[in-house]
Amino acid sequence: MGSTDTIASEAAVLAQTYSPLPVVLTEGHGVWVRDVEGREYLDALAGYSALNFGHGHPVLVAAAEQQLRRLTLTSRAFHNDRLAEFAQRLARLCGKDRVLPMNTGAEAVETAIKVARKWAYTRRGVPDGRARIIVAEGNFHGRTTTIVGFSTDPAARNGFGPFDGGFDTVPFGDVGALEHAVGPTTAAVLIEPVQGEAGVVLPPPGYLAAVREVCERHGLLLLADEVQSGLGRTGSTFACDDEGVVPDVYILGKALGGGILPVSAVVADDDVLGVLGVGEHGSTFGGNPLAAAVGTAVVGLLEPGDIQAHVRTLAPLLEQGVARLRGLGLRACRVRGLWAGLDLDPRVGSGRRLCEQLRLRGVLAKDTHGATIRLAPPLLITEQELGILLDRLELALRDLTG
């Protein structure tokens, strides 16, 4: 079927929880994808960072293919021969002791919340059922009922209550407000080092280090949601590394599955993950041998540091490239690594309108919160390909601003 018929067929049977661009993709290699009519596009979204290593990375595809022929699922009722290596190498990459494997980013966040609460009851003496976690305005940690209960996005939250509470929300970037929110039953601070869904919102310089200090002084856990920001996106293995901050808990997902299947994990030391006992948490698919094989290959790509160095080399080119467009329809630009949030001025209109124009120019990006778009190409993009992306962005803006 062509694009029009395929989109109509989807609309007839799918719950309408997304409003995708009208393009039907069928093939992808590296940073390039192709639609059913044969048109080629540069993928500037990379599956919200799930495709950090591009489409069809040969190392990741080979790992998946080899494991598919051997064993895909055992459940955690039995051991498999791939999980130990994955956990060992991921723990070492994070500088932590233990790994709790899950599937999706939201599952990993939920897991970290459970761990923080159990830790508060068993290690800090917080009365059972009273642990609280501090979160930031503008957060996006997933779409489960617990998580949307502390979202400040009406579209994510409204109509899905009642919520369980237990969360205190403070402005992102305001250390004073965060410290003021700390109380006798506070267990942890849950934060994105860079707020991706909000539009690549960067923290003020020194903010993460200050949050780390507050947590240490008050005896709180720092939970870093690195689902979008981690695994090379900012030019460091983790966005927390950019300020030399080591959280108590890493929450990982998206790129951990190499764009091939959902893989997520909570990574922490013994004194944190050790609070969970047998039967207190789990997942049928978490840590399955196929996920472990792909996840091990992902860690293997990150261990040498070459990809992170490549991102650091290209980051100034992206930052300079979008900065020069400030007078051409961009009101503000935020760049960290190969990740940019672009706020549009009224001449351009909505972010959706710019994304539609980029699609016509052969670039796929996605809008967020009305007048903002995000750029997050695969990390293996070349300097030449980044130049193509920036040139086409300029042409799309000129199309819309006259």
Q: Distance between CA 30 and CA 298 in Å, rounded?
A: 15
Kindly name the residue from 43, 53, 118, 140 that is annotated as catalytic. 140
Q: Tell me if 156 sits within 8 A of 148, measured CB to CB.
A: yes
Sheet of strand 32-35, all strands in order from the earlier edge strand to the far edge: 25-29, 32-35, 40-43, 363-364
Q: Report phi then psi at 121, rounded to 5.
A: -75, -35
CA angle in degrees (0–180, nearest 5) for 70-71-72: 135
Q: Is 140 a catalytic residue?
A: yes
Give long-range contacts, CB 8 A cutoff, 24+ apart: 325-334. Answer: 325/393, 325/394, 325/397, 328/394, 328/397, 328/398, 328/401, 329/354, 329/397, 329/400, 329/401, 330/397, 331/371, 334/199, 334/200, 334/201, 334/202
Kindly name the residue from 35, 43, 225, 367 that is annotated as catalytic. 225
- Residue 132 CA to its chain's centroid (Å): 24
Q: Tell me if 30 sits within 8 A of 382, measured CB to CB.
A: no
Q: Which residues, 6 or more positions from 341, have their beta carbon under 8 angstroms from its beta carbon?
A: 199, 200, 201, 333, 334, 335, 372, 373, 374
Q: Give the residue among 258, 238, 234, 200 at the shortest CA–CA distance from 50.
A: 258
Q: Distance between CA 81 and CA 71 in Å, rounded?
A: 10
Q: Give me the numbers of helices (H) and strands (E) for the chain, helices first please.
A: 13, 15
Q: Tell me if 265 sits within 8 A of 90, measured CB to CB.
A: yes
Q: Is 163 a catalytic residue?
A: no
Q: Distance between CA 331 and CA 344 in Å, rounded?
A: 5
Token representation of residue 47: 């599956």
Q: Is 53 a catalytic residue?
A: no
Kindly name the residue from 53, 254, 285, 367 that is annotated as catalytic. 254
Catalytically active residues are 140, 225, 254
